[in-house]
Amino acid sequence: MKQPLSHIRTTRRWAVLAVAGALALGVVASQAVAANAGADAVATDQPAPSLAAAPDLSLTGQPAVGEILSLVAEHPATQTWTFQWLRDGQVISGQTDSWYYPHTADVGHQLALRVTITEPDVETAQVTTPAVLVLPGAMSITLNTQTPLGTPKVGQAIELDASPATCSRKVAPGDSGTVGLAVQWLRDGQPIAGATYRNYYLQTADVNHSLAARLTCSQTGYEDASATTNAVIGQLGDTGGSGLEITSLTFPTPVYVGYAYQAGYQYTQPSADSQPTAAWQWLRDGQPIAGATSRTYTTTVADQGHQLAVRLELSLAGYTTASRTSAAATVVASVSDPEIVGLAQVGQALGAKLTYPQDGVVACQWLRDSQAISGANQCSYVVQPADVGRELSFQANVTLAGVEVGSATSAPVTVSQATFDTVQATIQSSLKVGDQTKAGAQIVYHSYGVEPTRAWQWLRDGQPIAGATSDTYTVLAADRGHKLSARLTVSLAGYVTAVATSGEATVESRPVVIEKLTIAGAVQAGQTISADFQYAPQGATFVYQWLRDGQAIAGATNPYYQVQDSDKGHYLSVKVTGSATDWDQGTLTSSTALVPGGSFDFDAVVQSLLAMLKNWIAQLMGLFA
């Protein structure tokens, strides 16, 4: 009898009848027996299956401080993925997103992402990406002073701006640390010992030599960045007067809290054989500052808003002591307006650069339309959907020793919608009626912790198929000869909606499936035998032809056949041809069965075996077609 198949299978097996003298077919017969034995094995209970294939995952992005590492991967809708970042194989507390910003504490360590995959009725699996070594972050420096200011003469000072350079780097959210700016004056490209202040007073050794300043930005966890100003040529100093006289006494202005200032002076003396002794005293509002008795003085929060000056006394044996007090300057806060850096779009990280004292502590607050954003108190900020069309700014407050020394707010930037980097849809290139197919998608974007929404629509010849709005689709008979494609619409708050359509696949029909065709009943003269097989699809119709030694038996076109006396000593088989709407015809011929009785006809046996072999070859060719 015929039994419908629950699904289509392509495995086939054939029974082989060994006959005397057919030695060449012995191996074929033994293989068929083994195949039948394997087919009769009874399945036993099995544990829950594991994943069909563990995904091959890897991290994208630069493994450096301030950059972003992330995992971009698609997974079936039936799976749930959770994440845990690892440092040298150990869990990083709280880092359970698919992205991570390397911190200064990560430098020199290995980072990896462990993905836990769960799926109903399947064992939970864990996959860990290959580890990456975290490198120091990139630091950049921009000179604000291209050429030292002042007159390059002996006894006079050349100096840099109050803010001689701007240091920039990317800062990971929640990271800490401040940037230091160091100055080193150079003579003919070589460091001058002790010349590490913003100003430098020329010595006689500087005459006719090139002088420049090298500025270096540094912070733990970042590569140092250095730049050198243009050089000036040292000249002879001015002379004048007949006694010990201080002709000028100055220090760089304007004066900011938290910076070191070195006084410069010129003097005359009657003889160059000896040098006078200098005594220094820095003054606040005309009064001596306790302990401030060297040529260099670093301003403090106590100086802010007050008048700063310096007094110098020169003494030389045999001469009257010379004294002079410099002009006073008001000490002011030392924070420059911060500047927002980065792209003001959803999912992008913004940062700020500003100038402040080396030992200062910066408190940050991001503002939306001049109002504080709750929780946005780091020196970097990831733009959110609520920011679209709004103005973002950044406020910086700097303290020294717990006392605020300056506050400034950046110019605002307006946030615009972001666009997806990549949106692609794909389907199988070859489809047949009855196939169950699944569309694939590739989406690349700057994530802020929310997955985009995907909407699918299957198309027939470019037109929507009613109800076909899932990423999976069963190919219908109505699709035969038409072109199928899938259209993907991706949307996410703060992003411009993106639409992508896959390539097209022309739908083909498939042949009716006939398998496990055997002759049922006793193959003996006078007995009725029938064709027994399984098939697909349901509703298929069949045509039968019974064969004697591979040749059609006239009139034997029913599913059953009564064995005749004339069949004795011959081989019987049956050929079944199936047809169904929107399916191609399928044909299969059974194995032969010998009808006992009659005289042995060697030629007939050979002809029957050749017909059977020809049938096998035709079936094998159809299998690999």
Rounded distance between C-alpha atoms, residue 515 and residue 115, angstroms: 44
Asked if residues 517 and 506 have their Cβ atoms less than 8 Å apart, the reply is: no
Closest to 300 in 3D by CA, of 286, 289, 287, 311: 289
Rounded distance between C-alpha atoms, residue 408 and residue 394, angstroms: 8
Backbone φ and ψ for 74, nearest 5 degrees, come out as: -105, 150
Asked if residues 362 and 396 have their Cβ atoms less than 8 Å apart, the reply is: yes
Residue 362 is given by DSSP the state E
Which residues lie below 8 Å from residue 387, measured CB to CB, with a gap of 6+?
Answer: 344, 346, 368, 415, 494
Using DSSP, state whether 498 is helix, strand or coil: strand
Closest to 233 in 3D by CA, of 158, 335, 165: 158
Average pLDDT of the segment spanning 588-595: 94
Which residues lie below 8 Å from residue 147, measured CB to CB, with a gap of 6+?
Answer: 229, 230, 232
Rounded distance between C-alpha atoms, residue 524 and residue 412, angstroms: 98
pLDDT tens digits for range 201-215: 887 688 889 999 999
Asked if residues 505 and 480 have their Cβ atoms less than 8 Å apart, the reply is: no
Measure CA 126 to chain center. Answer: 19
The type of residue at 315 is: S
For 469, half-sphere exposure in the C-beta direction (CA atoms, 13 angstrom radius) is: 5
pLDDT tens digits for range 301-317: 789 889 999 999 998 77
Residue 38 confidence (pLDDT) above 60: no
pLDDT tens digits for range 186-200: 999 999 999 999 999
Q: Can you give the C-alpha Rg of the chain in angstroms?
A: 45
Rounded distance between C-alpha atoms, residue 523 and residue 521, angstroms: 6
Task: Note the pTM of the prediction, 2 decimals.
Answer: 0.39
- Strand ranges in 492-564 using DSSP code E only, listed in sequence order: 498-501, 505-508, 513-520, 528-536, 541-548, 551-552, 560-562
pLDDT, residue 275, reads 83
pLDDT, residue 600, reads 52
Residue 283 tokens read as 């003054």
Using DSSP, state whether 149 is helix, strand or coil: strand
| C-alpha to C-alpha distances, 169 to 223, 342, 349, 437, 562, nearest whole angstrom | 10, 11, 13, 48, 93
Closest to 542 in 3D by CA, of 528, 531, 551, 555: 531
pLDDT tens digits for range 471-514: 999 998 889 889 999 999 999 988 999 999 999 999 987 888 99
Confidence of residue 273 (pLDDT cuts 50, 70, 90): low
pLDDT tens digits for range 320-354: 788 999 999 999 877 777 899 999 988 899 998 88
